[in-house]
Amino acid sequence: MQMIDVNLRNKAMEMVEEYSGIALSDPYYPSYHIAPPVGLLNDPNGFIQWKGTYHLFYQWMPFHTGHGAKFWAHLTSRDLVDWAWQEPALAPDEWYDRTGCYSGSAVEKDDELLLFYTGNVKDDDGNRETYQCKARSEDGVSFEKVGVQIELPDGFTPHFRDPKVWKMRNEWYMVIGAQTEEKEGCIVLYRSEDLDSWTYEGILASGMGYMWECPDFFRLKDDVLLFSPQGLEEKGIDYRNMYQSGYIIGDFDKGFPEEKFRELDHGFEFYAPQTTEDDQGRRLLVGWMGMPDGGEEYFPTHDNHWIHQMTLPRELLQQGDRVIQKPVEELEKLRTDKLVEENSGSFAGNLPRNIELIMREIEEDIYIDLYDYFSIRLEGRRITIERPAMDGSGKEWRAADLVSPLTEMRMFIDQSSLEIFVNDGEIVFSSRMFPDVDTHECRVKGRSSITAWNLRAEKGAE
Ligand code: FRU
């Protein structure tokens, strides 16, 4: 039996003290995105607005830039733009979570902030146990673990994790990402009246791939099931990443047919997104701008003791049978100087790496080259993005087809990331990029108006 270290939190904070200066001075470290002060960041967890403040947690490995026994790092914000670092909410220091406080969600009940997460336990031979656990907080700063709430039911392998809890029809529901004993990916449903005892309600959706991670359920015009399936075969321009993240628009009572699955984002790095509803009634989403087993070992930031970042917060809306994503309007606060305002069509010049680039009134096929590294092409209704392959073997590309003609594109560039929102969020591409740090040249060919804003230049999300 492995020993449990009760001083893990202190050790994590020592790592922050020792290495965050190096991480933050990396030219690839983001200026306005959430990134870890040290170590590895993956899934967003526990996204909630509680007593007026947004709380966002994430999967965090403070001790190195690989995966392993995850903590929950914790950030708060009043406006979704400036985030303050809080003490880590959960450390893997109990018998039921000792190899990781894995992903989960947050809800409010009786004035308390409650976290539901997966306790991952893996022995030296790789045998896995999984427990769905709860933690509570009265002040939204320190969290007390309550313990195990749900054990693995019959019929599933221990790949059973990532509880997302919500309230509906005066009851609490929980979806969990799972794998059946027949090695099929699925989502299971639980129900509770008090958030203490849970009833297993069966499989809510299944059908493709061998494992579904990080489920989420919410209502836009219709019911939406969001999840990250693993094991889908590449199909034309679809499913070209190692794993996918997408949604099915369906009906909670009638089901979520797998053939309606659509990818949410078409970039190289996007996984395990999570949503919450805020007090303005907006459905907000944050995703991990990363991809497990998708080349992360080649990122050049390991030597500076950090890896990965979040996407910007986005508002989700339903347009017909699609979910569209718009950057939240608060992000306009990031704008400082206007660097470019060009109506003549093309543009060529040097631009910094913390900018928002807006193209409107696009009238013909366009070609964009950013920092001699990342290209974006529109041909007919197809948009293709291309960059050098992370493993150094030539180029790699992703593509998506527009439903309506291209009219506008909004790009957020932040040192080593690029989020492209096409036609007001109809198609989104989220990707990392690692151009030579001294190259600033950008070229746009095609006819459109072009505006570029400098965005806040401070380093770090704190
Ligand atoms: C998704 C995931 C989750 C798990 C977590 C562990 O990226 O694999 O299923 O809870 O990451 O960090």
* Closest atom of ligand 1 to CA, residue 271: 7
What kind and span of H or E run contains 21?
helix 8-24
Query: Ligand 1: does its nearest atom lie under 6 Å from the Cβ of 42?
Result: yes
Instruction: Choose, from 26, 43, 97, 162, the residue flagged as catalytic.
Output: 43
Give distance in angstroms: CA of 375 to centre of ligand 1: 31
Q: What is the mean pLDDT of the chain?
A: 96
Q: Which residue among 64, 161, 296 is best mutated to probe the pocket of ligand 1, counting the most ligand atoms within 8 A of its Cβ?
A: 161
- What gap in Å lies between CA 274 and CA 45, rounded to an integer? 7
- Is the C-beta atom of 43 inside 6 A of ligand 1? yes
What is the number of the ligand 1 atom nearest to the C-alpha of 290? 7
Q: Report which ligand 1 atom has the smallest distance to the Cα of 120.
A: 10
* 428 pLDDT more than 80: yes
What count of Cα atoms within 13 Å lies in the side-chain half-sphere of residue 44? 31
Q: Is 230 in the pocket of ligand 1 (CB under 6 A)?
A: no
pLDDT, tens digit, 9 for 90 and up, residues 273-329: 999 999 999 999 999 999 999 899 999 999 999 999 999 999 999 999 999 999 999
Residues 6+ apart with CB under 8 A from 219: none
Helix (H/G/I), strand (E/B), else coil: 383: strand
In degrees and rounded to multiples of 5, residue 15 shows phi and psi of -65, -40
* Residue identifier of the C-alpha nearest atom 6 of ligand 1: 102
213 lines ligand 1 (CB under 6 A): yes
Question: Are 132 and 105 spatial neighbours (Cβ–Cβ below 8 Å)?
Answer: no
In the prediction, which pLDDT does 352 show?
96
Pocket probe mutation, ligand 1, options 60, 63, 103, max atoms within 8 Å of Cβ: 103
**Known active-site residue 43:** yes
Ligand 1 nearest-atom number relative to CA 102: 10
Asked whether the predicted pLDDT for residue 461 surpasses 60, the reply is: no
Q: What is the pLDDT of residues 144-193, one digit of tens each?
A: 999 999 999 999 999 999 999 999 999 999 999 999 999 999 999 999 99
In 3D, which of 419, 417, 412, 409 has the Cα closest to residue 450? 409
- Tokens describing residue 23: 């991480």
* pLDDT value at 203 more than 90: yes
How far apart, in whole angstroms, are the C-alpha atoms of residue 43 and residue 271? 7
For residue 103 and ligand 1, the question of a CB distance below 6 A is answered with yes
Under the banding of pLDDT at 50, 70 and 90, the label for residue 460 is very low
What is the CA(376)–ligand 1 centre distance, in A?
Answer: 30
The closest residue, in CA terms, to atom 9 on ligand 1 is: 213
pLDDT of 133 reads 98
The verdict on the CB of residue 31 being under 6 Å from ligand 1 is: no
Instruction: Name which residue leads in pLDDT, 363 or 142.
Output: 142
* Residue-level pLDDT at 401: 97
User: What pLDDT shows up at residue 380?
Assistant: 86
CA–CA gap between residue 132 and residue 176 (Å, rounded): 9
One-letter identity of residue 107:
V
The percentage of residues in the chain with a pLDDT greater than 90, rounded to a whole number, is: 93
Report the half-sphere exposure of 106 (CA within 13 A, side-chain side). 28
| Cβ neighbourhood burial of 242 (10 Å; 0-12, 13-18, 19+) | middle
Q: Is the model's pTM score more than 0.85?
A: yes
> Do residues 389 and 396 lie in contact, with contact meaning Cβ atoms separated by under 8 Å?
yes
What was the pLDDT predicted at 2?
53
Is residue 346 over pLDDT 90? Answer: no
In the chain, the percentage of residues whose pLDDT exceeds 70 is 98
Q: Is the CB of 178 under 6 A from ligand 1?
A: no
Q: Closest Cα to atom 8, ligand 1: which residue?
A: 213
C-alpha span between 456 and 332 (Å, rounded): 10
Does ligand 1 have an atom closer than 6 angstroms to the CB of 269? no
Structure confidence by residue, pLDDT tens digits, 366-375: 999 999 999 9
Q: Assess whether pLDDT exceeds 70 at residue 382.
A: yes
Per-residue pLDDT tens over the stretch 24-58: 999 999 999 999 999 999 999 999 999 999 999 99
- Chain segment 120-131, per-residue pLDDT in tens: 999 999 899 999
